[in-house]
């Protein structure tokens, strides 16, 4: 659906931020009886835990949690942050506990390690719009610091966690740190979602891992939240550090969502299309001679003519999913596909 007057905010280096100001599990994870009593004990004592749960139905989750679908149900691996998130959003997690492991020790990670992350972040911010090559180098480094704890995204089972992560020789951080970092980021997103839906369910438009889109007037919440995040950074030893704070993306005149991390908007009369995992400029030649109104008419409901040289356009069930670079002006071959907005 094409929407007007949509506001966007993004978290700044959301995953690395969790390494800075969160107390992470630092002790050994010990098995506990796989039952509700043990899980409640872990929750009440604010222990770090990893629980594998089988549910009959798939959980409704706007902030996304990985699951494995099997013939007998849906299998989730959750941290304490995930359980807190579901509680915050009023989602009841009903199912069978398969495994439960807890860690009773928490602390900040090594100061020098965290200091280096802050330095990378500040270098990234200082080079934004000034030195793009340096900016993307620092941004990629920050992403890699988090990613090297996992090498892949969230595990779908405890066995998968052991097989893929602990035995992966390319990682150099403990998987639980990256898992807890991602889970804490999802909790931060859930707080923002709750702020919107508590005011008016229709105000919430879309979100991904570190960005949210909404209608209505909610900027005050994000400004207040930024002060709280900076206070948390200061308490962790990094005063005046803005890592993890929300950044105002803009008030979009037009906005349309195709799917997760796939959307287009106009800001100050200029069109921007964002599709996960691909160049942000691949679409520009195609739309260069069209007005904003024509662009959104094409993106919304009509057949869209795509140069075949952009074979990196991916289509699933008629929906535009990914656009990568590859189109060169002058390419003649054309294909037609149907775009459906969701």
Q: Identify the band that residue 282 occupies on the pLDDT scale cut at 50, 70 and 90.
A: low
Residue 110 CA to residue 45 CA, distance in Å, equals: 24
Sign for the CA dihedral angle at 218, 243, 278, 285 comes to positive
Q: Is the pLDDT of residue 189 over 60?
A: yes
Residue 223 CA to residue 246 CA, distance in Å, equals: 8
Q: Identify the band that residue 285 occupies on the pLDDT scale cut at 50, 70 and 90.
A: low
> For 33-68, how does the pLDDT look when each residue is reduced to its tens digit (9 = 90+)?
999 999 999 999 999 998 989 988 887 665 556 677
- Tokens representing 237 are 């030893």
Q: Identify the band that residue 137 occupies on the pLDDT scale cut at 50, 70 and 90.
A: confident
Cβ(31)–Cβ(279) below 8 Å: no
Residue 180 CA to residue 178 CA, distance in Å, equals: 5
Q: Residue 91 has what pLDDT?
A: 83
- Out of 101-105, 202-206, 256-260, 282-286, pick the least confident: 282-286
Greater model confidence, 104 or 27: 104
Q: Identify the band that residue 166 occupies on the pLDDT scale cut at 50, 70 and 90.
A: low
Cβ(134)–Cβ(127) below 8 Å: yes
Q: Is the pLDDT of residue 327 over 50?
A: no
Residue 318 CA to residue 311 CA, distance in Å, equals: 15
Residue 145 CA to residue 132 CA, distance in Å, equals: 20
Residue 276 CA to residue 258 CA, distance in Å, equals: 11
Q: Residue 304 has what pLDDT?
A: 42
Q: Is the pLDDT of residue 236 over 90?
A: yes
Greater model confidence, 231 or 3: 231
Cα dihedral 286, 287, 288, 293 in deg (nearest 10): 160
Does the pTM surpass 0.85? The reply is no
> For 76-117, how does the pLDDT look when each residue is reduced to its tens digit (9 = 90+)?
888 999 999 988 888 888 889 999 999 999 999 889 989 999
Mean pLDDT for the stretch of residues 215-232: 95
Greater model confidence, 278 or 314: 278
- Tokens representing 163 are 């097989």
Cβ(171)–Cβ(152) below 8 Å: no
């Amino acid at each position: 659906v094409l929407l007007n007057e949509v506001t966007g905010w993004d978290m700044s280096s959301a995953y690395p931020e969790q390494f800075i100001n969160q107390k992470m599990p630092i002790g050994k994870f010990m098995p506990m009886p796989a039952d509700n009593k043990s899980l409640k004990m872990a929750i009440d004592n604010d222990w770090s835990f990893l629980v594998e749960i089988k549910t009959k139905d798939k959980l409704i989750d706007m902030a996304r949690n990985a699951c494995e679908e099997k013939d007998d149900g849906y299998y989730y691996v959750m941290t304490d942050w995930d359980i807190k998130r579901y509680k915050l959003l009023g989602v009841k997690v009903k199912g069978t506990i398969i495994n439960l492991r807890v860690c009773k020790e928490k602390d900040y990670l090594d100061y020098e390690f965290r200091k280096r992350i802050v330095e990378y972040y500040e270098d990234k911010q200082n080079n934004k719009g000034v030195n793009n090559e340096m900016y993307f180098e620092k941004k990629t480094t920050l992403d890699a610091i988090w990613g090297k704890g996992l090498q892949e995204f969230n595990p779908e089972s405890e066995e998968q966690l052991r097989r893929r992560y602990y035995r992966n020789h390319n990682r150099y951080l403990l998987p639980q740190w990256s898992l807890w970092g991602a889970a804490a980021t999802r909790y931060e997103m859930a707080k923002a979602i709750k702020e919107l839906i508590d005011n008016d369910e229709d105000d919430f438009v879309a979100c991904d891992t570190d960005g949210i889109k909404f209608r209505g007037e909610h900027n005050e919440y994000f400004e207040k939240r930024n002060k709280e995040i900076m206070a948390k950074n200061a308490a962790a030893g990094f005063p005046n550090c803005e890592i993890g704070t929300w950044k105002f993306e803009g008030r979009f005149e037009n906005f349309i969502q195709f799917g997760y991390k796939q959307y287009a908007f106009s800001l100050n009369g200029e069109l921007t299309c964002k599709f996960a995992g691909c160049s942000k400029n691949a679409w520009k030649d195609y739309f260069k001679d069209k007005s904003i109104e024509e662009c959104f008419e094409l993106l919304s409901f009509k057949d869209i003519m795509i140069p075949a040289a952009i074979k990196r356009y991916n289509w699933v069930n008629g929906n535009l999913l990914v656009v990568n670079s590859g189109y060169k002006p002058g390419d003649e071959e054309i294909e037609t596909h149907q775009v459906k907005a969701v």
